[in-house]
Structure 1
Amino acid sequence: MRILLIRHGQTPSNVSGALDTAFPGAGLTDLGLSQAAAVPDALEGEGIAGLYASRLVRTQLTAQPLATRLGLPVVVQEGLEEINAGDLEMATGKEAVTAYLEALADWIDGTLETPVPGGEAGHEFLARFDAAVRAVADKHDADDTVAIVTHGAAIRMWTGLRTKESPAFGDENRIRNTGLAIVEGDPDGGWVTTSWNNDPLGGAHLIGEGF
């Protein structure tokens, strides 16, 4: 199976630098809507057999133009949500963002028991994201390509911890709004990251401010 992991379009919380991870989350900015609108052309010819999004509104809004182009529904799959910020939810200060990122760095170093303050630990994140990916895979044939619109930290951590040859978690491998990571494999045999595109699918002119 081939999975296109797409980060959602820009939100007001991205612009303000807020750790926005709770349901239902923010919608898209005007730029975010433009980023989403550029996705169908960028993925023309991919042969996408299924389209999935997290429970957070921003992923579903990002997926909608692609759904319209493909004539497919946006299937909301529980478990594809962003890494929960816990006590840091909606914080914008440098200390809060650093604390969030330090927990994630511990996961990459192998300490999956470290929780985001008041949030989930690495093994908890992996368990629910793995289950979501398996649920998607179970709906498709082994040679299908599917698109999953999800979240930046979730993409970076899941690829970093669950795929071979992954860019993993590093400053040089951030993923901007509507950036794309492609993985291939299956839940039992494992996954390989085959492509990493940090910039928006529509091109670098769609890069926005914030994170």
Structure 2
Amino acid sequence: MSGRLILVRHGQTVANVARRLDTKLPGAELTELGVAQARTLGRGFAQQPPTALFASQALRARQTAEHVELAARVTTVVREGLHEVQVGELEDRSDEESHTLFMKVYESWHTGDLRDRVPGGESGMDVLDRYLPVVESVRADYLDSGSGDVVVVSHGAAIRLVAAHLGRVPGSFATSNHLANTESVELVPLPGGGWECVRWGTFQGPFHDTGRAGADDPMG
């Protein structure tokens, strides 16, 4: 039986608290609460350790993964391509105008226009083109052989886009249901190369538009 691909959002950062668009590497560090969240996450995985643990290059993802590594006794492997959606000229901004613009573009990706982008930022296709090859290599190396679960510590906006794309999750659900810090999405590989999304934060599949309001943190 194939294992699960568990895409975990990092713990809280100082940028999250300030509602600041923080996407460039290496990025902000975890707050004290973020460290506590990461420790709790690690304790959860200690009960059922993953076969492999990956993290994006961002400091917040690596710091979060460290606590999973300590608790679950599995080595973190940092991979390129797993970082957050790059927001270009909106970097470090926390005003409502920048949040609104980013969300408008992000929502357009989930309705089919993957070419759209904020000024100087990535398109949805750019994100998928760098992220999906990592997912497929992880699948080939671990999941298709039934080696167990794989945990990837990454970033909210990127996770939601990738999970919705792979698991055919309705765009209205993906854009309405943000991931809180250290929440995760679970994907299960299907025969023939597809994926099923079985859990999204606190929700179990199948997924429909719940109408839940978006989070204060636009990158969640």
Q: Partners in 1 of 2:17 and 2:72 — Cα distance?
A: 30
2:52 to 39, 50, 53: 50
Identical positions, percent = 33
Q: 1:159 Cα shift?
A: 1.2
Calculate the TM-score normalised by the size of structure 1.
0.88
Q: 1:67 Cα shift?
A: 0.4
Over aligned residue pairs, what C-alpha RMSD do you find? 2.0
2:108 to 106, 116, 120: 106
Q: Partners in 2 of 1:166 and 1:210 — Cα distance?
A: 21
Q: Which residue of 1 aligns with 2:159?
A: 155
Q: Partners in 2 of 1:196 and 1:163 — Cα distance?
A: 11
Q: Which residue of 1 aligns with 2:93?
A: 91
Q: 1:72 Cα shift?
A: 1.5
Structure 2 counterpart of 1:125, one-letter code: V
Q: Which residue of 2 aligns with 1:176?
A: 180
Q: Is the 8 A contact 2:53 2:77 kept in 1?
A: yes
Distance 1:7 1:187, change over 3 A: farther
Distance 1:187 1:176, change over 3 A: farther
- Per the alignment, in what secondary structure is the counterpart of residue 48 of structure 1? coil
Q: 1:77 Cα shift?
A: 0.8
Distance 1:103 1:165, change over 3 A: closer
1:21 to 20, 23, 32: 23
- Per the alignment, in what secondary structure is the counterpart of residue 21 of structure 1? coil
- Per the alignment, in what secondary structure is the counterpart of residue 9 of structure 1? coil
User: What 5-or-longer segments of structure 1 have no aligned partner?
Assistant: 200-208
Calculate the TM-score normalised by the size of structure 2.
0.85
Distance 1:161 1:141, change over 3 A: closer
Q: Partners in 2 of 1:188 and 1:128 — Cα distance?
A: 22
Structure 2 counterpart of 1:175, one-letter code: L
Q: Partners in 2 of 1:150 and 1:87 — Cα distance?
A: 22
Q: Is the 8 A contact 2:5 2:149 kept in 1?
A: yes
Distance 1:46 1:164, change over 3 A: farther
